[in-house]
Amino acid sequence: MIDQPLTSVPEWYVRAVAGFLGLTMRVLNRGQHYEWKLGDLLLEWWPSTGRTGINRLYTERRRVKTLRELRKWLVRKTTEYRRGRGLANWGIS
């Protein structure tokens, strides 16, 4: 399940990962858009296309298409933010 391409996102799993990382989560458009917030950091994800955004910047070419990739992406970006470097700190004034 965790490595299969997403047809529907189990919201309980995404909420569990977000809670573990200390992120607040919003689900928009009936599950078509996810937002996570931690301080000044805003992470966005669209499950249907796999597109990601960081602080309203959509420069990453990587597509997140499985739950495993989503978990890794969230962990990596929150870690970068907490360490004060990486793409997670772009656009923060």
Kindly report the average pLDDT of the chain as a whole number. Answer: 85
Q: List Cβ neighbours of 68 (8 Å cut-off, separation of 6 or more).
A: 2, 3
pLDDT tens digit sequence for 6-37: 667 788 989 999 999 999 999 999 888 999 99
Domains and CATH numbers, the chain: 11-83 (3.30.457)
User: Can you give the C-alpha Rg of the chain in angstroms?
Assistant: 12
Q: What is the mean pLDDT of residues 77-82?
A: 90
pTM equals 0.83
